[in-house]
Amino acid sequence: MAITLKDHPFAVETYFKTSLVLTYAIPKNELIHLLPPCLTLDTWKDEWAFVAVALVDTKKLRPKGFPAFLGNDFILAGYRIFVRYINEEGKRLRGLYILKSETNKHKMSILGNLFTHYNYTTTDIVMTKTTERMVVNSNQSDLDIEVCWDGESIRLPKGSPFADWKEARRFAGPLPFTFTFNPEFKRVLIIEGVRSQWNPKPVEVIKHEVGFLKQLGFKDILLANAFVVENVPYYWKKGKIEQWEG
C-alpha cells in the first residue's frame, strides 16, 4: 500500500532532554465522540478515559541516520487520547490518538505538517527547568504549568482516580504507538516509537492551566497524574499503513 509524504515516510530520531506529561481523567462518554471508528478508548475501571498533555524539549531532531549537526532543537506540545487498536495480525496495541500538536518554531510546523498528520501550529511556548522544578508557559496557547519534585513524598493530584503511583504509571505517556485515521480511504497509520532508559519520575503539580482542554469543554475532568523523564534517546519508525475493514 502506497505511503504518502504525510504518512511519516521515514524514521526520525531525537534526544528528549526533558519530557513532562500530564494525564487527565475524563468520563469515557465525554471522549468517545472524538475517536475514529477503528479505535477504542483505553479506560480505567470501565469509567475513566484519559488525555495526555505532553511537553517535550527535543534536541537534534532529524531523519534517522543523519548526522546530529543537521538536527534541530524544538519544544513540542502534544494533546493525545489513550486508545487501543487491533491490528491486522489480531494484536491489541496500546497507544495514543492525536488531537493537536504545537511547537515553538515555525520550521517545525512546516516540516511536521508536510511529513505527518499531527496538525502542528506554532506558538510561544517556553520551558524553564531547574534541578527540582519546571515551568511551562505560553500566552498564545494559554499554558501555565508548574511542577516540582523537591519533596520527600510526591502526592498524586487531588481527586485522581488512581490509588497510588503504581496504578498511575499505567497511564504515563508517551505510549509505544501513535495512530491517525484517514476516513476517506479507511486507512490507519501506525507510528511506533522506540526508547531506552525510560524511567518516568512522578512530579507534584502546582498549577496546570491548559487552554486546549478548556476549548474542548469537558464537563468533568480531573488531573490524574504527572511524570517527567530526562535525557532519553528516542526515535520513531517510519509509518505503517493498514486498511481498516470495519
Position 4 in a domain: no
Q: What is the DSSP letter of 44?
A: B
Beta strands 222-236 and 177-182 are unpaired
pTM of the model: 0.94
In this structure, what CATH number is given to the domain that contains residue 234?
A: 2.40.400.10
Q: Is the pLDDT assigned to residue 246 strictly greater than 80?
A: no
Position 7 in a domain: no
Position 198 in a domain: yes
Position 96 in a domain: yes
> Number of folded domains in the chain?
1
Instruction: Count Cβ atoms within 10 A of the Cβ of residue 154 and give its class: 0-12 exposed, 13-18 middle, 19 or more buried.
Output: middle
| Contact of 157 with 225, CB cutoff 8 Å | yes
Q: Which of 166-175, 207-216, 229-238 has the lowest mean pLDDT?
A: 166-175
Instruction: Count Cβ atoms within 10 A of the Cβ of residue 204 and give its class: 0-12 exposed, 13-18 middle, 19 or more buried.
Output: middle
Q: Is the pLDDT assigned to residue 152 strictly greater than 80?
A: no
Position 5 in a domain: no
Range of the domain at 148: 12-243
Supply the pLDDT for residue 151: 67
Average predicted confidence (pLDDT) for the chain: 94
Position 2 in a domain: no
C-alpha cell at 245: 475493514
Q: What is the pLDDT of residues 43-94, one digit of tens each?
A: 999 999 999 999 999 999 999 999 999 999 999 999 999 999 999 999 999 9
